[in-house]
Each structure stands twice: as C-alpha cells, then as structure tokens.
Chains A and B, each alone.
Chain A
C-alpha cells in the first residue's frame, strides 16, 4: 500500500475550531461527514450539479464536494448544523416547516444555506429571483413550489 499524502487542516466549523489530519484528496463534504460527524451536509452527485452538499465558506455558498478539505485551511464553514440558534429553528427552517418546503429532506440543508446567503444579499427578492437563486439545487420531491413560498414568507 502506498502512503497516502496527509496534511493537518485547521478550520472553524459552526464557530468551533477544528484541527485534524486529513488525506489531501478528501473533499470538504466527506471531511465534514466522516471526520467531524456533521452528517447534515448531504452528498448527492459529487460533481457539483445537485447542490445537496452546499455549505457556507466564509459566508458564501459553495459546493463542498468541489473543495478539498485542505483548501478550507483557515476558513470559516457553516453547515446546516450551525443554522439553528440552540433549540430555536432559524426563520428559514421554521418557514420550510410551516410551508411544507421539504419532503424527503435530502436537498433541504443545501437549499436552506443557499437561501440564507441569498436573502442576506437580496432581502426583498421577487419570486423569479428566488427561483433563479435556488436553480443550482435539485429537489426531486416538492416541485419547488412550496420551497419558493417558504423563502418568500421569510423575505416578506
């Protein structure tokens, strides 16, 4: 067996400093799930198409399957586990609950984080703008309609 290159990565995840040795070829999604047990970040297509693994890197949504864990060195990452405030759901989470914005829940973490960053930049979006904003996140259950309603409800 050849020696797999490993590096130590230091990254702040949901406000907590983490320091772990990691294989250089491991992507951030797998690092979050396998090394930090943060399994709320879902892994779908693994080539940047589905959006399920979207996390916030220094506040901006990115595909965690298209980022090596070692590239997150020194950065701040927010996953779905970091969205709620202790026991209280984030307003977007509450709206998804109220408006039936999820069914199986696989795409939900990625969509919530995408929507959070989107509303921070554009707090009063039109429905069309919301649809464009989540166009990079695939949902195979809802038909998107209730997702758009939930995001609109928070924007109002």
Chain B
C-alpha cells in the first residue's frame, strides 16, 4: 500500500513540464490534484518511473470567462470551481458537489478528473454537455480537443503521453436554460452507478436546444443525441418527456460489475433521464409566458 519508487520532478513552468514529458514519454505521469493518481500509486496499479508534479507551475490556477467561454486552468481545484460557479453556472456547481467529498475536491483538479476519464465521473459528462474541450500542450505546440473527441474508453483519452492539459474550456449554457444533474450512487460522494446531465433552453414555449449527457452508462460518457432530437422544436408535454427518456435509455452499452448489472444501469439511465428532463424543464425560464 505504498507507491513503488519513482523519480520526482516539480517543474516551475509549462515549458519545463512539457520538456519533462517529451523526455520521459510513457514512463512519466503528471501529478496535479492526485486524487485519482495517488490511490493508483498506493495500490501499485500504476508504477510510473517519473512523477511530473505540476503543482508548482504558476498561472495554471486561473478561472476566466470571456466571450462566452469559461477557461479553467489545469490546476483549478474542483472546490474552487464549485464555489465560483454557484451563482454563475449552477449546473456545474451541482455536478461538482457530487464529485467525491470536500476533502477530495479541495485537492482534486477539474482538468484531472476530465482526463482521468472515469466513465462514471460527473465532470467528463458535464464537459460534453457544455460543448467543452481540453487544451493540450506539447513540444509540438498546442491543440484543442473537443470533448466528443477526447474520451476513448474507460480511463482512456486521445491525449498523447507527451501532452500536458493546460486548461479546460466550457461554454456556459444560454441564459434561462433549465438544468439538472441526477445520479444514483451507493453513498454520497461515490462514483455514480449511473448519472444524467440535462440542459433545456426554450423560447416561446418551444424547446430550442437540448443537451442530455449520461455517465456510468457505458465505457465513455455519451450525449443522448436521439433523445435531444425528440425534444428540439417541440412544446414540452409529459408524453414528450417520456418519449425522450425512452430514447435516452436506448442503444447504451452499460457495464456489468459487482455494483450493478448492465440491465439495471440501462433502466436507471432511462428513469434518471425522465427525472432530469422534468427538473430541467421546470427550471427553464420562458419569456413568452
């Protein structure tokens, strides 16, 4: 229950960190908040030769919002974004409150949870629903990876070993958007068995925009595109919500494990989708009414 021996470097700039990753490649692991990596080191599920601790890199702990894009530096702790977003992007605050516990969120970073890519984690699904992306830096330069192109499988992303995520970008939903984050977990703070994020924007009674994201319902978080299509352009009714929830629960590939069988997860996905859509609709402002 102790980490295997490793070399420890704590770069003081992004360039220096990227240089370390270029030098050590697959042998290196980036340490940010450590709330996923440290357990894996302690359990020796991961045995990197080099730990690149980026906690001393300045400028990575900033939250800025400009031109409708929320930019969250790679060292922003989950707790910091939770506090920041309560009055600004409540759907993010609600999702963040479900990530671990306070002591975990005080250290755990937003970017770290995104790139850890646990299929049952809240933040990857939120990134999908908020049209987000991760910005990765390497010696070759910088590239922005959209959330849909980031998640490859459980704990797998399209990031290369020589890339360092320097920030995540999020598009807060349009004003008046109704939102909901629902999940079923054994205990508060656990990873979800299944969870759903829903965002609904409506104008003159008609749904203009819908985002439904599911987590814990497959190897990667997914947008329920079919369910979104059911909703857009329609006037919400209980029957429509029912139909959309049904669509959200279809074509999923949930995993079976000792916590829940796949069929149970699929059923929970459908039920939570209905609840999330119902709650998002009641929160959605409608100027026309």
Binding site for B on A (CB under 8 A): 2, 4-5, 7, 24-27, 30, 46-48, 51, 54, 57, 60-63, 65-68, 70-71, 114, 117-118, 132-133, 135-136
Contact = CB atoms under 8 A, between A and B. Distances in A.
A66 B102 contact: no
B288 interface: no
Contacts of B43: 47
Interface in B8-64: 8, 10, 31, 34-35, 38-39, 41-43, 51, 53, 55
B7 A61 contact: no
B5 A66 contact: no
30 contacts: A2-B5, A5-B6, A25-B3, A25-B4, A25-B41, A46-B1, A46-B2, A47-B1, A48-B35, A60-B79, A62-B103, A62-B107, A63-B103, A63-B104, A65-B42, A66-B34, A67-B34, A67-B107, A68-B8, A68-B31, A68-B34, A68-B38, A68-B53, A70-B53, A71-B55, A117-B102, A118-B102, A135-B187, A136-B103, A136-B189
B184 to A, nearest CB: 16
A71 B53 contact: yes
Interface of B: 1-8, 10, 31, 34-35, 38-39, 41-43, 51, 53, 55, 79, 100-104, 106-107, 187-189
A54 B103 contact: yes
A25 B106 contact: no
Given A67-B34, A135-B187, A47 B104 contact: no
A117 B1 CA distance: 28
A139 to B, nearest CB: 13
* 4 A-B pairs with the lowest CB-CB distances in the bound complex, closest first: A136-B101, A47-B39, A24-B8, A66-B38
Given A48-B35, A135-B189, A66 B107 contact: yes
Contacts, number: 91
A48 B8 contact: no
Nearest to B40: A47
- B contact face: mostly helix, strand, loop, or mixed: loop
A48 B5 contact: no
B6 to A, nearest CB: 6
B2 A136 contact: no
In the complex, which of the residues A26, A30, A60 has the most CB atoms of chain B within 10 Å of its own CB atom?
A60
B14 to A, nearest CB: 19
Contacts of A46: 1-2, 42
Nearest to B33: A66
B107 A25 contact: no
A26 B106 CA distance: 20
Contacts of A27: 2-3, 38, 42
In the complex, which of the residues B1, B35, B38 has the most CB atoms of chain A within 10 Å of its own CB atom?
B38
Contact of B39 (A51, A61, A66): A66
